[in-house]
Structure 1
Amino acid sequence: MAAQRNRPDCRELVLFCLFLGIPWEARARQISYSIPEELEKGSFVGNISKDLGMAPRELAERGVRIVSRGRTQLFSLNPRSGSLVTAGRIDREELCAQSARCLVSFNILVEDRVKLFGIEIEVTDINDNAPKFQAENLDVKINENVATGMRFPLPEATDPDVGVNSLQSYQLSPNKHFSLRVQSRANGVKYPELVLERALDREEEAIHHLVLTASDGGDPLRSGTVLVSVTVFDANDNAPVFTLPEYRVSVPENLPVGTQLLTVTATDRDEGANGEVTYSFRKLPDMQLLKFQLNKYTGEIKISENLDYEETSFYEIEIQAEDGGAYLATAKVLITVEDVNDNSPEVTLTSLFSPVTEDSPLGTVIALLNVHDLDSGQNGQVTCSILAYLPFKLEKSIDSYYRLVTHRALDREQVSSYNITVTATDRGSPPLSTETQFTLQVADINDNPPTFSRASYFTYIPENNARGASIFSVTALDPDSKENARIIYSLAEDTIQGSPLSSYISINSDSGVLYALRSFDYEQFHELQMQVTASDSGDPPLSSNVSFSLFVVDQNDNTPQILYPALPTDGSTG
């Protein structure tokens, strides 16, 4: 059960994708295991952590998980041991019927690298089924004047196992009148025939009891039996004959219940009761018995349940015609079910990487999606699309996976989130489609400096103003968010008449309000020139500057003085 690596018959899976700007690996390796059916739940399948090149604890740390579609998951990961184990009992016959090889395929996703590994597990057969006949008893009617060497078809046994574990041989209990001959059809299926070796005499013995045994070749050997009761009738020397050995018909899967598919016809040259033919199903599984209805008198075959191409696309039915005496004839009816576009595509969002920063490079992986359509041919071929105006595009990955990647630059200040709708449409007629919606958030980076509302500011203040009075307010805006948009105001260092600017004017760092720390004197200076800086709190911070002019307005606060003529200095009156 060890992994078979680099097998020549495994496909190389090509995965072209980017995860947050980092290229994915171009090749995805196929990992193969083999297990027998009927293992207990939790049985060891393979050392998946070793085959992925990881320690067991890394399975959970790196988001390793199984991604698959459709039926119930048959396998699971044991993060403690790093093993791939069975998730329940696996019945090969239920899973793959009688296919020569039973393969279960799925993918393992290493989420932190967005890397997929193809896993293929072969479930091998064990001899857990015995050959079985459809009925426990069979009545064979034979006319007493039948010539020796005449052959009579006996029921075939079925064994869902494969290979040597399937049906291998038939045996007939000893009898002086009959022997057994086993024939093989072109497809290799064996069927038994009863051969008359010695003439019959109804008056001597009217009923012969035989036991037909079917055996497989398993170890231990298994077998099944049917009791064959041969009833000897008086002369009826003509058997029914079908007009065709095989009847073929092709029908669409959406035919309404009750629709007639075809009519089989058999004729018998005898007269009276010996020439009256009735029809019946000779070999038909129970599931198919519910699907079809046979008129025993006319040979008309109708459907009694809805057909489903995705469930079964082909039926092989054996019809038996029996006359009123003892003769039988068989014919095959081959029904091919044609697909119609009755299933919409399915879209699964496997991974979503949100939020994404607005400076993410082109080609950054946003999401990983899986698409599938149960239909076949053109009806099952699916294409995915998104709205053209979005700054993203879809790229095909391996199998039925798509990657959504950035196609144009993002700007959170213009669009902070995107509601993305992925539409999957098949190529049927008419086409069917499915929409899947999800939201992508764009994370902010500090890419915008604060901006003042004006190119410069000025204001007037009368001299002799009160100290601590508010004189003006500047405002800057930053379109970024959170810390990247929180603004801090400050004044550039400068001196006025030998004193620092900060001893004249102060600014509130949060509101941008300017305050006068002194009472100004127009006779000392008429105006103050300064520079205001607005810085955000990003990392690294961005800033902008603006010039601010403060003009001092004169007040009448000085009396006139006589400068000429000057007063005498000798004490005279002048």
Structure 2
Amino acid sequence: MLVYRPIRQRTQRLLLSFLLIAAWETGSSQVHYSLPEEAKHGTFVGRIAQDLGLELAELVPRLFRVASKGRGDLLEVNLQNGILFVNSRIDREELCGRSAECSIHLEVIVDRPLQVFHVEVEVKDINDNPPVFSVSEQKLSIYESRPLDTRFPLEGASDADIGENAMLTYRLSPNDFFTLDIINKKDKGKFPVLVLRKLLDREENPQLQLLLTATDGGKPELTGFVTLLILVLDANDNAPLFDRSVYEVKMYENSANQTLVIWLNASDVDEGINKEIIYSFSSLVPPSTRRKFLMNESTGEIRVNDAIDFEDSNTYEIHVEVTDKGNPPMVGHCTVLVEILDENDNSPEVVVTSLALPVREDAQVGTVIALISVSDRDSGANGQVTCSLTPHVPFKLVSTFKNYYSLVLDSALDRESLENYEVVVTARDAGSPSLSATASVSVEVADVNDNAPAFAQPEYTVLVKENNPPGCHIFTVSARDADAQENALVSYSLVERRVGERALSSYVSVHAESGKVYALQPLDHEELELLQFQVSARDAGVPPLGSNVTLQVFVLDENDNAPALLPPGSGGGAGALSQLVARSVGAGHVVAKVRAVDADSGYNAWLSYELQPAAGGARSPFRVGLYTGEISTTRALDEADAPRQRLLVLVKDHGEPALTATATVLLSLEDSGQAPKASSRASTGAAGAEAALVDVNVYLIIAICAVSSLLVLTLLLYTALRCSAPPSEGACGPGKPTLVCSSAVGSWSYSQQRRQRVCSGEGPPKADLMAFSPSLTPCPLPDVEVEEQSAGGSHLSKDGNYSIHPEHIQ
């Protein structure tokens, strides 16, 4: 080790040399250096970057910096070469006082990633302070009658250095009367005592002047001087005496005022006035000690007079004099050494020195969040501090060096569960009772895009009446994203697909921000009964996340199609067509049938037939089936009946309002002999129609059963969805929508709320079930002249709908 050795203070130049000791402490990743105090500016301390394992090129980009709590800028680092050097004067005595250990604790911080190193620089003492006496001259009044070996305590010198540099020895200048004795104070150093070796004679030597020299143990040694002025008094020959020359007292700090410290007892063997004594503090007692203690001059009691704080001073040296009232007075001396015992009266201090906030919710376990330092002014167990965190938080404390800790992430974070943590660091000392302090660290969790938008349901059912206005709002989709800010900003779009030969976007659109779904054109139930598509919700995160929801849009039928009359089976077109009827037919004979279809569904397509009254009010011998359209005789024909019958049949659906069409049937009445073939053809045609109708009805029964089962299942599913889902915005028009299902054989509906009672003209009324089968081939019937008249307009559909009465279903 290179040792810094001063040759002579203020007279010779300082020669500086030292040896750098850099050692990594086991498991703590710290560096230790040492240097002597008073080192010059620029003195090399250590290659700190190399010893910490850092590259020189990293120092500036990683924001290499050194912090020293309360130490100013004594040390500095050259960022070009990574060398730690002395930046300003380091005075160990100013830095640490008389403490045996003196170190400068440096906290080295680098970012990207954040790392913290602790460096301890030990400051070695050099002998740069000579012994110093509090006064330049000490006066002693000694009576000539004092016996040999009388001892006179002297005030010793003090040395600001420590160790060997503060070990003092005393030397008295040569004389005939006094020698010097040294009293060792228990672990408190030494103080000198004059011992009388030759009786004094005031008449020969009324005054003596001696020189007391104090020398420390440094190399080279330094000295201090004080002049002893001894006044030889001629008077009282017995001085008061204490039973001990040194008293040692221990007491706790924070003792209350007037607490007794010690009760001194001195005695004087003289008689009378010379025996009366007075106690007082010596002139050697400094003012600060006089403020702390109070002396009772009559009793010798020393009591506490001010606050006693171990952290201010842990020992007091009180010099006491006892003086008799003789003439001249004589004085006795003693020293009271008061040792102050520490109490746990200082709470720990917690300081958060660095923060890395906010913390991303995907941060890795072990990420450093904050740097925390703790301290306690007390000593021993009272100053031993342990730290703990608020329970049930995803963080922990890691000790890095002595009373330094790092707050690190201990488990995964989820901002959607908790976006802010109030972490309380509690520091508690080991005193009894223990004291504690807390520091709160607010840790904000930053969001990452780890949640996709979510719909409340995977599928929605929407009911829309046909013929809606273009741009009609039919539904609103809404997705929620548990993330925050841009990561929770949801936009909506259609999942494009083809609907037949057209794109989905030609039917519907969705507003990107509100999620409102619009029908871009009027929907036609006859063209499209069910429109099924998906809406996508996507957030604005990077990368974006998304999800889809399915919408089933059922287009509900409205009565927008009038019944359409079908041409006769013979292929005749529009215009007046005649039918021959034999006069010999009996009552109930079917002579013709009017056929009509309606492109609508349900009640809107349920047709009924009515025979309009003849002109003049004459009663016609014919009637029409209410739901079959069959024209039959009501009685036997006779000669009184006109040979040419013109029948007007009104065809009406059950929509609201109802739409109608009219058909004109011309019947020619002929005698039996004139039209056998026609009658035969009519009978044959009617029989064939009935046979075909029986075959058709078998298929209709099968289709109705299948479609009924599908309808029941659909209604149950729809009811369950409506009960579990909140009300949604649906059809454009008023009224309660009715769910319509599709099957391979056509469309059908059945209402439990409304039952139609149908009258066929004969027998009791019957309840009807309607089945509409556009795929069936029309049954062959006798040719009938038909004139089509449509109320409100009509058209022929590709799919013919038939109305079948239950009495014809086998």
**RMSD between superposed Cα atoms in Å:** 3.8
The match for 1:356 is 359
Question: 1:4 corresponds to which residue?
Answer: 21
Question: Does the Cα contact within 8 Å between 1:141 and 1:326 map onto a contact in 2?
Answer: no
Partner of 1:502, secondary structure, is helix
- Cross-structure match for 1:564: 568
Residues 378/199 of structure 1: CA separation in 2 closer, same or farther (3 Å cut): closer
Match of 1:524 in 2: 527
Q: What is the TM-score normalised by the length of structure 1?
A: 0.82
| Map of 1:185 onto structure 2 | 184
For the residues of structure 1 that align with 2:577 and 2:411, how far apart are their CA atoms?
A: 95
What amino acid sits opposite 1:113 in the alignment? L
Does 1:244 pair with 2:244?
yes
| 2:282 match: secondary structure | strand
Question: Counterparts of 1:188 and 1:135 in 2: how far apart (Å)?
Answer: 20
Contact 1:168/1:215 (<8 A) preserved: yes
Amino acid corresponding to residue 91 of structure 1 in structure 2 = D
Identify which of 339, 351, 355 aligns with 2:342: 339
Q: Which runs of 5+ in 1 are unaligned?
A: 15-26
Deviation of 1:76 (Å): 4.8
| Aligned pair partner of 2:536 in 533, 554, 566 | 533
By how many angstroms is 1:441 displaced? 0.9
Matches within 5 A, 1:30-69: 30-37=31-38, 45-54=45-54, 58-59=58-59, 61-66=61-66
Within 2, Cα distance between the matches of 1:353 and 1:361? 14
Output the CA distance in 2 between the equivalents of 1:181 and 1:569. Answer: 156
Q: 1:194-228 CA distances to partner (integer Å, 9 max, x unpaired)?
A: 45565543223322233334345768875443332
CA distance in 2, matches of 1:125, 1:401: 30
Tell me, in whole angstroms, the C-alpha distance in 2 between the residues paired with 1:108 and 1:286: 44
Contact 2:315 2:337 in 1 (8 A): yes
Which residue of the partner structure matches residue 313 of structure 2?
Answer: 312
1:471 corresponds in structure 2 to 474
Q: Is the 8 A contact 2:71 2:104 kept in 1?
A: no
- Is 1:3–1:46's contact at 8 Å kept on the other side of the alignment? yes
Distance apart, 1:378 and its partner CA = 4.5
- Amino acid paired to 1:31: H
1:417 to 415, 420, 432: 420
Q: Secondary structure at the match of 2:289?
A: helix
1:124 and 2:141 matched = no
The normalised TM-score by structure 2 is 0.60
Separation of aligned partners in 1, 2:411 and 2:96 = 47
Q: Is 470-479 or 514-523 further displaced after alignment?
A: 514-523
- Structure 1 segment 477-496 matched on structure 2, within 5 A: 477-496=480-499
SS in 2 for 1:205: coil
Relative to structure 1, the CA distance from residue 337 to residue 106 in structure 2 (aligned partners, 3 Å threshold; closer, same or farther) is farther
Give the 3 Å change call, closer, same or farther, for CA 547–65 of structure 1 in structure 2: same
The separation in 1 between residues aligned to 2:344 and 2:574, in whole angstroms, is 128
Mapped contact 1:142–1:326 kept (Cα < 8 A) = no
- Look up the SS of the partner of 2:256 in the other structure: coil
CA distance in 2, matches of 1:213, 1:266: 31
Give the equivalent residue in structure 2 for 1:202: 202
Q: Secondary structure at the match of 1:290?
A: helix
Aligned equivalents of 1:521 and 1:101: distance in 2? 96
Structure 2 counterparts to residues 264-303 of structure 1, below 5 A: 264-272=264-272, 275-279=275-279, 280-281=281-282, 283-285=284-286, 287-303=288-304
Q: Which moved more, 1:88-97 or 1:190-199?
A: 190-199
Distance 1:364 1:124, change over 3 A: same
Whole-Å separation in 2 of the counterparts to 1:500 and 1:182: 117
Find the aligned partners of 2:459 and 2:65 in 1 and give their Cα distance.
Answer: 60
Shift in Å, 1:399: 1.8
**Distance of 1:120 and 1:395 partners within structure 2:** 23
Higher relative contact order, chain-length normalized (CA < 8 Å, sep 6+): 1
Shift of 1:308: 0.4
Tell me, yes or no, if the aligned pair for 2:171 and 2:180 is still in contact at 8 Å: no
Q: Number of aligned pairs?
A: 554
Superposed displacement of residue 189, structure 1: 4.3
Shift of 1:163: 5.6
Offset, 1:386: 4.2
Instruction: Return the offset for 1:272.
Output: 5.0
* CA–CA separation in structure 2 for the residues paired with 1:263 and 1:416: 66
d(CA) in 2 for partners of 1:202, 1:471: 128
Between Structure 1 and Structure 2, the one with more strand by share is: 1
Moved more, 399-408 or 253-262: 399-408
Paired letter, 1:367: A
506-515 or 390-399: which moved more? 390-399
Give 1:23's aligned residue.
Answer: none
Larger fraction in helix: 2
In structure 1, what is the Cα distance between the partners aligned to 2:386 and 2:273?
63
SS in 2 for 1:185: strand
C-alpha distance 168-271 of structure 1, shift in aligned 2 (>3 A): same
**Paired AA for residue 261 in structure 1:** V
| Higher deviation after alignment, 50-59 or 338-347 | 50-59
Partner of 1:17: none
Q: 1:178, 1:194 within 8 Å by CA — same for their partners in 2?
A: no
- Amino acid in structure 2 at the alignment position of 1:454: Q
Amino acid at match of 2:36: I
**Residue equivalent to 2:502:** 499
Query: Any gaps of 5 or more consecutive residues in structure 2?
Result: 1-17, 579-810
Q: CA deviation at 1:466?
A: 4.3
| Offset from partner CA, 1:384-439 (integer Å, 9 cap, x none) | 44443444444555422344444554332232212333333445454433232232
Deviation (angstroms), 1:262: 0.8
Q: Aligned in 2, Cα 1:236/1:463: closer, same or farther, shift over 3 Å?
A: closer
Separation in structure 1 between the aligned mates of residue 577 and residue 197 of structure 2, nearest angstrom: 179
Which is greater in Rg?
2
- Equivalent residue for 1:158? 158
Residues 561 and 77 of structure 1: is their aligned pair in 2 closer, same or farther, counting only changes over 3 Å?
farther
Name the % identity.
39
Task: Please say if residues 449 and 544 of structure 1, whose CA atoms lie closer than 8 Å, have aligned partners that are also in contact.
Answer: yes
Per-residue CA deviations over 1:11-36 (Å, capped at 9, x if unaligned) read: 53x4xxxxxxxxxxxx3123212132
Distance 2:377 2:263 in 1: 31
Q: 1:444 Cα deviation (Å)?
A: 1.5
- Find the counterpart in structure 2 of residue 18 from structure 1: none
Query: For 2:258 and 2:149, how far apart are their aligned partners in 1?
Result: 43
Change (3 A) 1:535 1:100: closer
Q: Is the 8 A contact 1:37 1:123 kept in 2?
A: no
CA separation of 1:466/1:200 partners in 2, compared to 1, >3 Å: closer, same or farther? closer
Match of 2:376 in 1: 373
Check conservation: 1:463, 1:521, Cα contact below 8 A.
Answer: yes
Question: Could you list the per-position Cα deviations for residues 297-332 of structure 1 after superposition, in whole angstroms to 9, with x for gaps in the alignment?
Answer: 533222232110122223343434455568665433
The answer to which of 480-489 and 408-417 deviates more is: 408-417
Q: 1:449 to 1:100 in 2, by over 3 A?
A: closer
Q: Give the Cα separation in 2 of the matches to 1:184 and 1:458.
A: 106
Q: Following the alignment from structure 1 to structure 2, what is the Cα–Cα distance between the partners of residues 109 and 216?
A: 42
Cα gap change, 1:206/1:43 in structure 2, threshold over 3 Å: closer, same or farther?
Answer: same
SS of residue paired to 1:484 = helix
2:674 corresponds to which residue?
A: none
Once residues 235 and 527 of structure 1 are traced to their aligned partners in structure 2, the CA distance between those partners, rounded to angstroms, is: 134
Q: Judging changes above 3 Å, is the alpha-carbon distance between structure 1 residues 191 and 403 closer, same or farther for their aligned structure 2 residues?
A: closer
Q: Does 1:75 align with 2:70?
A: no
Question: Contact between 2:137 and 2:228, CA under 8 Å: does it hold in 1?
Answer: yes
Residue aligning to 1:134:
134
Q: Which amino acid aligns with 2:21?
A: Q
| Cα distance change on mapping 1:549 and 1:251 into 2, 3 Å | same
Relative to structure 1, the CA distance from residue 94 to residue 264 in structure 2 (aligned partners, 3 Å threshold; closer, same or farther) is: farther
- Is the Cα contact below 8 Å between 1:131 and 1:167 reproduced in 2? no
